[in-house]
Amino acid sequence: MALDPDADREGLRLGQALADARAMVPSLTVMEQDSARLASAFAAFADWHSNASPLVTVLQDKTPFGDLILDITGVAHLFGGEAAMLDMVLSRLQTLNYTVSGAIAPTIGAAWAVSHSAKSAIISTEQLVETMDGLPVAALRLEESQISLLAQMGLKTIGELRTRPRKPLLARFGASLILRLDQAYGHIEERMTPRLPPAEHFVDRKFFEPISTLEDVLLTTEGLAQKLARRLEVQGLGAQTFHLFLYRVDHKVMTLSLNAARLTRDAEHIASLFRHRAQRLEQENYDPGFGIDLVRLAAASLDRLDPGQTGVFETDTGARDIEQLTDRLASRLGTLSVLKTELMASHIPEQAARLVPALVHQPQDIGLSSDRHRPLRLLPQPEPVAINAEVPDGLPASMIWRRQQYRLIKAAGPERISAEWWRSGKRLELVPAAHARSDEPGEKPKPSPYMPDLPPFDPMSGMRDYYVVEDGAGHRFWVFRQGLYGGSIHPVWYLHGIFP
Amino acid sequence: MQTQSRQQRLAALRDIIADIERKPALAGMQARPFGADGEGFPRLPGGLLQEVFTDAVRNGGTSLAFALGQAKALLTPRRLAVLYLQLDKDAQFFGLPYGPGLSSFGFDPAQLVLVRAADMQDLFWVAEEALACRAVAGIVADIGGAPEALDFTISRRLSLRTVESGTSLFLLRYGTERQASAAHLRWHLMPQRSGRKAFDDRAPGAARWSLKLEKGNAGQHKSEWILEWTGNAFKSLPNWIGIAAQSPSGTPVSLSASALLANPISQAG
């Protein structure tokens, strides 16, 4: 809930019943707060402020909108000192007709307290205790109930609260009060989680005249990539993740992030990755608003990258080209669209290989010999087929698949692949069962974790008999029968793969 | 008289165009056969746009094998990957290349990169992008039906790129319809009954296909082959094998099944 200055002047207050307020001011305009939209707008706002400091977050515990926190350690001198910086940040919001108040203080709690007492001030470390002592207890980000209880006890200012013995306070108000108090005075460090990934290595370029076309942005990116690459090279570093931040004039930030297959500082490669990603962006929604006045390129996931030799002898094996190609493809199509096969140590066909993004694929050798005859193409979902055999358990003689009849003249099998025996008898579980602990006498038995009522695992139910079959025209397929004739489950045939 | 000289000139122009179309790729080609005899299937160089037609999707294993078999021969230490392209939605219909299956076919699965595109436009973009990369040995693209995006313009474009790059592009096509295309070679591939498997007459043996060259010139006077995959290379078989296998007198397996019941051991094999 919030009131505008006019309402405040009429004597309305927060927490009042709407009927009372209506009685006092008949012309009252009441609007419901769209908290989701507010939150997203505030988040965009916070992101945009990262052009002042890289560490920005929104505190949402107390006020209806949230509070913007900027960590300006080591930043203020870029704006001509703390006073100038505060003035710059506040005034640029005021020109947009926002009512703002802000404060710079050594702790988050103190800055919050001072800014919420509606003064824009700068508190140095020496002034901290003195200033805080004079502020009302409500400035400590406490619960409503705690504030009213403190008021009943006659503790009005933070200073009075600070000098009280702690034990009774702890007993009566809980640990949160003491925590807030200590945080405000800097006895305990209060941490903030920045909204945007903090970037140690970034380069940016400001524009006097905002740019808007994607082509301009990409050209700028190329220049920035070269700058960044030089900087990384000097420090002997390479990066795997790159973020491009586009700060719009109207307080929104567009972020483009991408991953390279491995550490790189190749400016050309970085720029081309962004170019491919941007093509996708343009198809979806590239909206520069009223223009972009700051472009920032940041590198993350840094590690040591020794300078490569471009020497007399050819050391290029082509592996690098392939990596860059998969990078480019993945940056446009998405990571999950460029895949490599990873062989797994499993005898169950669909688990013997899995497809992993080429970006994270590590070549490995699991030491499996491939003496088994396996199809070249595997259907992700086995398809049910109708199969006839002259005798049960005999070789398949005819098959209907995708409404086509096949007369099978050759077949090999069965190759019996049963479920993993080491899971036999275990109950199928979604959550790992807690380790069985014998209940101590007198202790109530603890409720076990949620366990759906699944049947115990029966290795016979997952057993398959695979056959390689060939029809008169030379089509070769891999089919299997799940279940046994005369068993508890009626056998069903599936087609699983296609041979060359 | 005038018409005749005009016709001659037209013929000469046609020859020039044919030369332009064929030469960059096939000019330096030597017909080194796989087999010992000169009649074998030629070892085709890179830089060719090849269309591989089969009649139905169920032959997908055959056409993939033919393309990979050729691509395997193109792999060198400098060109060390083969790309396989497929549309996202086609995975279930065509089936995905299967790692252990690739190994047992004789192709190292680590050398295959699978790319799943959302639509044909993306797929051709990937193909072009991959052709620009000099470390790609071959590209195999599964194309179902006759998509509108694959018109003569794009195939001409791709064929020029393949020549430039020296990478081969295999378009796996399904169906009996043929559109105009600028592919250098167009194959028609049919599965054949497999060869004999040692010690087990009822089991499928080495894969065999019949292959027909419908368009282009593979550097030999021959245009039809019966091929067998040996796990490492194509082996060309004499043509009469295909004719024999085509005859419908195959004995269904099940007929002998009753006799086999007496011998449970052989049945278990």
pLDDT digit string, tens, across residues A79-124: 888 888 888 888 888 887 777 888 888 888 888 888 877 677 788 8
Q: Are residues A361 and A259 in the same domain?
A: no
A222: phi then psi, degrees, rounded to nearest 5: -60, -45
Taking an 8 Å cut-off on Cβ atoms, the answer to whether B258 and A391 are in contact is yes
Q: Measured between CB atoms, which of B109, B202, B258 is closest to A341?
A: B109
Identify the bridge partners of residue B96 per DSSP, sorted by sequence position.
A378
Q: Are residues A246 and A305 in the same domain?
A: yes
Taking an 8 Å cut-off on Cβ atoms, the answer to whether A370 and B125 are in contact is no
Taking an 8 Å cut-off on Cβ atoms, the answer to whether B98 and A401 are in contact is no
Taking residues A274-286, what's their average pLDDT?
Answer: 76
Looking at the domain assignment, is residue A190 inside a domain? no
Q: Which residue has the higher pLDDT, A57 or A365?
A: A57
Looking at the domain assignment, is residue A484 inside a domain? yes
Taking the CB of residue B58, how many other CB atoms lie within 10 A of it?
22
Long-range contacts of A399-405 (CB under 8 A, 24+ apart): A399/A469, A399/A471, A399/A477, A399/A479, A399/A493, A399/A495, A401/A477, A401/A495, A401/B58, A402/B58, A404/B58
Q: Is the pLDDT of residue A453 over 60?
A: no
Looking at the domain assignment, is residue A195 inside a domain? no
Taking residues A37-64, what's their average pLDDT?
Answer: 76
SS3 A182: helix
Residues 6+ apart with CB under 8 A from A300: A197, A199, A201, A239, A240, A241, A242, A243
Instruction: Read off the pLDDT band of B242 (50, 70, 90).
Output: low
Structure tokens, B97: 């290349």
Q: Report the CATH number at residue A295.
A: 3.30.1490.100
Taking an 8 Å cut-off on Cβ atoms, the answer to whether A322 and B257 are in contact is no
**According to the model, what pLDDT value does residue A400 have?**
93
Q: Is the pLDDT of residue A266 over 70?
A: yes
In angstroms and rounded to an integer, the radius of gyration of the C-alpha atoms of chain B is 21
**According to the model, what pLDDT value does residue B87 have?**
92
- CA–CA separation, B115 vs B96, rounded Å? 11
Taking an 8 Å cut-off on Cβ atoms, the answer to whether A390 and B257 are in contact is yes
pLDDT in tens, A150-166: 888 888 888 888 888 88
Instruction: Read off the pLDDT band of B257 (50, 70, 90).
Output: very low
Q: Are residues A165 and A43 in the same domain?
A: yes
**According to the model, what pLDDT value does residue A129 have?**
82
DSSP structure class, residue A157: B
Instruction: Read off the pLDDT band of A467 (50, 70, 90).
Output: very high
Structure tokens, A80: 């001509």
- How distant is the Cα of B66 from the closest Cα of chain A, in angstroms? 8
Instruction: Read off the pLDDT band of A364 (50, 70, 90).
Output: low
Taking the CB of residue B241, how many other CB atoms lie within 10 A of it?
16
Structural domains of chain B, ranges and CATH numbers in brackets:
43-268 (3.40.50.300)
Mean pLDDT value across chain B: 80
Q: Are residues A295 and A409 in the same domain?
A: no
Q: Are residues A78 and A120 in the same domain?
A: yes
Q: Which residues of A touch B192 (CB under 8 A)?
A: 474
Q: Are residues A286 and A392 in the same domain?
A: no
Taking an 8 Å cut-off on Cβ atoms, the answer to whether B135 and A318 are in contact is yes
Q: Is the pLDDT of residue B218 over 80?
A: no
Taking the CB of residue B2, how many other CB atoms lie within 10 A of it?
6
Q: Is the pLDDT of residue B245 over 60?
A: no
Looking at the domain assignment, is residue A438 inside a domain? no
Structure tokens, A496: 């699983």
Interface test with B, best of A273, A329, A338, A478 (most B CBs within 10 A): A329
What H or E segment, with its residue span, contains residue B82?
Answer: strand B81-87
Looking at the domain assignment, is residue A105 inside a domain? yes
Q: Are residues A53 and A153 in the same domain?
A: yes
* A–B interface: beta-carbon pairs under 8 A: 227
pLDDT in tens, A400-446: 999 999 999 999 888 888 777 666 555 444 444 444 444 444 444 44
Q: Are residues A47 and A168 in the same domain?
A: yes
How many domains does chain A divide into? 5
Taking residues A265-269, what's their average pLDDT?
Answer: 86
Taking an 8 Å cut-off on Cβ atoms, the answer to whether B191 and A475 are in contact is yes
Range of A175-179, A204-208, A493-497, B195-199 with top mean pLDDT: A493-497
Taking residues A356-365, what's their average pLDDT?
Answer: 74
Taking an 8 Å cut-off on Cβ atoms, the answer to whether B92 and A338 are in contact is no
Structure tokens, A250: 């109207």
pLDDT in tens, B21-72: 655 545 444 444 443 345 678 888 888 999 999 999 999 999 999 999 999 9
Q: Which residue has the higher pLDDT, A279 or B184?
A: B184
Taking residues A446-451, what's their average pLDDT?
Answer: 45
pLDDT in tens, B156-192: 999 999 988 889 999 999 988 888 888 889 999 999 9
Looking at the domain assignment, is residue A436 inside a domain? no
A349 in contact with B, Cβ within 8 Å: yes
- How distant is the Cα of A332 from the closest Cα of chain B, in angstroms? 9
Q: Are residues A61 and A168 in the same domain?
A: yes
A463: phi then psi, degrees, rounded to nearest 5: -80, 135
Instruction: Read off the pLDDT band of A62 (50, 70, 90).
Output: low
A394 in contact with B, Cβ within 8 Å: yes
Q: Is the pLDDT of residue A371 over 80?
A: no
Looking at the domain assignment, is residue A191 inside a domain? no
Range of the domain at A179: 37-185
Instruction: Write down which residue in A185, A202, A225 finishes a domain.
Output: A185
A397: phi then psi, degrees, rounded to nearest 5: -115, -30
Q: Are residues A12 and A67 in the same domain?
A: no
Q: Are residues A214 and A353 in the same domain?
A: no
Q: Are residues A235 and A110 in the same domain?
A: no
Q: Which residue intervals of chain B are DSSP H helices? A: 2-26, 60-74, 91-94, 99-105, 120-131, 152-165, 240-246, 257-261, 264-268
Q: Is the pLDDT of residue A384 over 70?
A: yes
Looking at the domain assignment, is residue A432 inside a domain? no
Identify the bridge partners of residue A378 per DSSP, sorted by sequence position.
A497, B96
Range of A19-33, A340-354, B146-160, B206-220 with top mean pLDDT: B146-160
ipTM above 0.95, yes or no: no
Instruction: Read off the pLDDT band of A216 (50, 70, 90).
Output: confident
